[in-house]
Amino acid sequence: MSRYALDDIRRQAEALGPWFHNIDLGGVATAPEHFLGDYPAVKWRRFGHALPADLRGRTVLDIGCNGGFYSIEMKRRGAARVL
């Protein structure tokens, strides 16, 4: 997979907007002015510690994935597949 420059990521995120979830895409926030603040990261901080930090090689099922925030977090923790 190629590595995108921040300007490329920013342009693509803006083209796909407006975003509801504020997702950090390698330093580019998708909804920095969200009316709930850093949502849903603020929710994630409440329970993220309850999930394994290392999900390498695992398959994760994200039921009701909505905007994909939690799916992205599972990939960041190394999940091989997120469904």
Question: Rounded distance, CA 82 to CA 32, Å?
Answer: 26
Q: Give the pLDDT confidence of 12-38 residue by residue, as tens digits.
A: 999 998 998 888 888 899 998 888 888
Question: Rounded distance, CA 24 to CA 40, Å?
Answer: 11
Task: Return the DSSP state at 4.
Answer: P
Q: Give the pLDDT confidence of 31-77 residue by residue, as tens digits.
A: 988 888 888 888 888 999 999 999 999 999 999 888 788 898 999 99
- Alpha helices of the chain — where are they, by DSSP H? 6-16, 41-47, 69-76
Question: Rounded distance, CA 75 to CA 28, Å?
Answer: 17
Question: Rounded distance, CA 65 to CA 62, Å?
Answer: 5
Domain boundaries, the chain: 6-82
H or E segment to which residue 82 belongs = strand 81-82
Contact 36, 42 (CB under 8 A): yes
